[in-house]
Amino acid sequence: MTERVRAHVMIDGVVQGVYFRASTAKMAMSLKLDGWVRNLPDGRVEATFEGPAGAVTQAIAWVRTGPPRAVVESAEIQFEEPRAEHGFRIL
């Protein structure tokens, strides 16, 4: 079985009002990842990606750029223990 990993990501920059959450959810679902994405009151976007290591790595690479109108200044990544989430949600 493929190793399951979980990444908790905090994305800063121009990441709200640019379809970041919807685009992130579409990308994550295309990679068959579980987790969620949400806007934070301070203007950042927070997300978790859980699934095979290779797919999580691809998701992390994607959020470093984001959708076309986004301007990502930084993305902090912390790896956590998988929580057996199912599906990907926009919170």
pLDDT value for 3: 85
Q: Which of 21, 44, 64, 83 is catalytic?
A: 21
Q: Which of 4, 6, 38, 39 is catalytic?
A: 39
pLDDT tens digit sequence for 35-70: 999 999 999 999 999 999 999 999 999 999 999 999
CB atoms within 10 A of CB 40: 13
pTM of the model: 0.94
The answer to whether residue 44 is catalytic is: no
Structural fold of domain 4-90: Alpha-Beta Plaits (3.30.70)
Decide if pLDDT at 76 tops 60: yes
The answer to whether residue 69 is catalytic is: no
Question: Rounded to whole angstroms, how far apart are CA atoms 1 and 78?
Answer: 23
Mean pLDDT, to the nearest integer, of 4-26?
Answer: 96
